[in-house]
């Protein structure tokens, strides 16, 4: 099976490439950067440098790769940035996917397409709707979430109108090694690693710690994506998550318990979202029934791996 991963240079893309290669897939990737970001993958992945927001470039990428499966992960994924640049977020996330779907039809490719959605599509969920299944109405509260709803429904429309074998993955929060420090858990771990290394004062700056999220290790999530492509029903939407809600306060406490440093936690209102979602819990019953997937990596192990990753990254920064 030949896979094309869009956004392969992103956090999830690299982990997905590693998982697919370990399971004997032929892996192609596309990104805007001139070369593949993860050096260990460069001899094992066929890399294409194209901007999918440009329709001719999306067409060329698909014409060259001619994949059996497309994992569409490319896009602007940082919710706070979407409030600062709503137009850019909508353009990036919607038009890249639209161009891929158009190219797929023009080239008459029979590839299965996984569209990476988000629990953010559900917005501020009423307590009686927890845990969230796929029947809960979509009610986005950020420009990012609006873009993901558009991607989700665009995939459904192209399935109905053109027979595209699109699988709509509504993935809940996923974390793990190599995540960008803009994201909350990675930010906590980076700050702690820098404090341990003596590179910043022993103060951990945080945002809203009362929010409760459903966290899954990214390595479990990419395994779910592969199973979705292999066993998912085209046109169907699938929630993917652990089914457990954990507060960000508990995340901070666990990271600090794993740390060697004495740290003061300081809440910074500037780190709050304009509109936040109090609690998210995933009901992945439909996805588990279709694929048999279950998360296998404990949250404690995920957090330990994230902190160790940031210790190594901080060490590399200081070593020059």
d(Cα 97, Cα 136) in Å, to the nearest integer? 24
pLDDT tens digits for 104-144?
999 999 999 999 999 999 999 999 999 999 999 999 999 99
SS3 readout for the chain:
CEEEEECCCCHHHHHHHHHHHHCCCEEEEEECCCCCCCHHHCCCCEEEECCCCCHHHHHHHHHHHCCCEEEECCCCCCHHHHHHCHHHHHHHHHHHHHHHHHHHHHCCCCCEEEEEEEHHHHCCCCHHHCCECCCCCCCCCCHHHHHHHHHHHHHHHHHHHHCCEEEEEEECCEECCCCCCCCHHHHHHHHHHHHHCCCCCCEEEECCCCCEECCEEHHHHHHHHHHHHHHCCCCCEEEECCCCCEEHHHHHHHHHHCCCCCCEEEECHHHCCCCCCCECCECCHHHHHHHCCCCCCCHHHHHHHHHHHHHHHHHHHHHC
245-270: pLDDT as tens digits: 999 999 999 999 999 899 999 998 87
Q: What is the pLDDT of residue 198?
A: 95
Per-residue confidence (pLDDT) for residue 269, from 0 to 100: 82
Structurally, the chain folds into a number of domains equal to 2
Low-confidence residues of the chain, pLDDT below 70? 320
Do 61 and 29 lie in one domain? The reply is: yes
Looking at the structure, tell me whether residues 163 and 50 fall in a common domain.
Answer: yes
CA 240 to chain centre: 11
In a domain, 96, yes or no: yes
Q: What was the pLDDT predicted at 179?
A: 98
Given this model, what pLDDT does residue 108 score? Answer: 98
Q: Identify whether residues 98 and 230 lie together within a single domain.
A: yes
Pair of tokens at residue 154: 């665009």
User: What CATH number corresponds to the domain at position 53?
Assistant: 3.40.50.720
Same domain, 107 and 51: yes
Report if residue 117 sits inside a domain: yes
Residues 195 and 156 placed together within one structural domain of the fold: no
Determine phi and psi for 143, rounding to 5 degrees.
-60, -35
Tell me, yes or no, whether 102 lies in a domain: yes
Do 260 and 307 lie in one domain? The reply is: yes
Asked if the structure places residue 206 within a domain, the reply is: yes
Give the range of the structural domain holding residue 188, as residue numbers without chain letter: 184-213+244-280+297-319
Burial (CB < 10 A; 0-12, 13-18, 19+), residue 99, is buried
**How far lies 280's CA from each of 130, 251, 274, 298, in Å?**
7, 15, 17, 18
Residues 192, 87 within the same domain: no
- The reported pLDDT for the residue numbered 318 is 76
Distance set, CA 266 to CA 58, 188, 249, 252 (Å)? 45, 11, 12, 11
Asked whether residue 53 is domain-assigned, the answer is yes
Residue 317 pLDDT: 83
pLDDT of residue 165: 99
Chain centroid offset of residue 129 CA: 23
Instruction: Answer yes or no: is 287 within a domain.
Output: no
Same domain? For 168 and 309 the reply is no
pLDDT at 277: 84
Residue 288 resides in a domain: no
Task: Answer whether residue 48 is part of any domain.
Answer: yes
**Together in a domain, 249 and 271:** yes
* Residues 258 and 302 reside in one and the same domain: yes
CB atoms within 10 A of CB 222: 24
As a whole number of angstroms, the distance between CA 213 and CA 211 comes to 7
Instruction: Identify whether residues 67 and 80 lie together within a single domain.
Output: yes
**pLDDT at position 320, please?**
59
CB atoms within 10 A of CB 209: 17
Q: What is the CATH number of the domain that holds 190?
A: 3.90.25.10
Phi and psi at 132, nearest 5°, equal -85, 120
User: Are 93 and 47 found together in one domain?
Assistant: yes
């Amino acid at each position: 099976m030949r896979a094309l991963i869009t956004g392969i240079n992103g956090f999830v893309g690299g982990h997905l490439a590693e998982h697919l290669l370990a399971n004997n897939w032929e892996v192609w990737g596309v990104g805007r950067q001139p070369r593949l970001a993860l050096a260990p993958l460069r001899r094992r992945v066929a890399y294409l440098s194209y901007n999918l927001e440009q329709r001719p470039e999306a067409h060329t990428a698909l014409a060259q790769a001619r994949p059996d499966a497309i994992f569409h992960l490319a896009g602007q994924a940082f919710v706070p940035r979407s409030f600062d640049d709503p137009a850019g977020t909508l353009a990036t996330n919607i038009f890249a996917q639209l161009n891929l779907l158009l190219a797929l039809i023009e080239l008459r490719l029979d590839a299965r397409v996984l569209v990476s959605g988000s629990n953010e599509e559900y917005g501020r969920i009423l307590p009686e709707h927890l845990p969230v299944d796929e029947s809960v109405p979509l009610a986005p509260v950020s420009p990012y979430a609006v873009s993901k709803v558009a991607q989700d429904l665009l995939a459904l429309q192209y399935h109905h109108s053109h027979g595209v074998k699109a699988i709509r993955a509504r993935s809940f929060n996923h974390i793990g090694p190599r995540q960008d420090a803009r994201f909350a858990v990675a930010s906590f771990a980076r700050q702690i690693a820098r404090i341990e290394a003596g590179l910043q004062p022993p103060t951990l700056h945080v945002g809203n710690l009362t929010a409760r999220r459903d966290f899954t290790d990214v390595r479990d999530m990419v395994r779910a994506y592969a199973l979705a492509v292999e066993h998912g029903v085209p046109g169907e939407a699938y929630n993917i998550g652990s089914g457990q809600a954990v507060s960000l306060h508990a995340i901070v406490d666990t990271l600090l318990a794993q740390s060697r440093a004495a740290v003061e936690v300081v809440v910074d209102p500037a780190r709050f979202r304009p509109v936040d979602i109090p609690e998210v819990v995933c009901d992945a019953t439909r996805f588990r029934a279709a694929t048999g997937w279950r998360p296998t990596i404990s949250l404690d192990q995920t957090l330990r791996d994230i902190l160790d990753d940031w210790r190594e990254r901080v060490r590399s920064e200081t070593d020059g």
